[in-house]
Homo-oligomer: A and B are copies of this chain.
């Protein structure tokens, strides 16, 4: 993770204690925290950190491509630091639990050119939905 902090510093990110804590809280694999969860964890280390600051930091990390925003259907967005290992998500329709998955058949079925309607497609997102073992 400190390589992340290095990379950010290198890009001119002013290193504040708040941003450091947010980046540290997000460290790890299979992490999919909501903004408020990040805020709660960050506040354990830095009690006066504000929600706005957490939202700002997360937004910047997303813009910098260091974190992926996963939006799950009506609930709060989740933030995924595993931005450098492409993967997709399996989501429980009942409780919202997320798991990382790596579908086979790599080049996710491209769109027929005549169905692109002039769009520049930059991202293909596959979401597998179902019930997790405890909700089934």
Which residues of A pack against B, CB within 8 Å?
69, 71, 73-74, 77, 90, 92-93, 99, 101-112, 115-133, 136
In the complex, chain B residues whose CB is within 8 Å of the CB of A118: 132-133, 136
A119 to B104, CA, bound (A): 17
Tell me the bound Cα distance from A115 to B90 in angstroms: 9
Q: What 8 pairs between A and B have smallest CB-CB spacing?
A: A107-B109, A118-B133, A105-B109, A121-B130, A103-B109, A123-B129, A119-B130, A71-B73
Q: Given A111-B128, A123-B130, does the pair A77, B74 have CB atoms closer than 8 Å?
A: yes
Chain B residues with Cβ under 8 A from A125's Cβ?
Answer: 126-129
Task: Please tell me how many copies of the chain the complex holds.
Answer: 2
A124 to B119, CA, bound (A): 22
A129 partner, pick from B107, B124, B132, beta carbons under 8 A: B124
Whether B104 pairs with A126 at a CB distance below 8 angstroms is no
Contact at A119–B99, with CB atoms within 8 Å? yes
Interchain CB contact under 8 A, B104 and A109: yes
A104 near B108 with CB under 8 A, answer: no
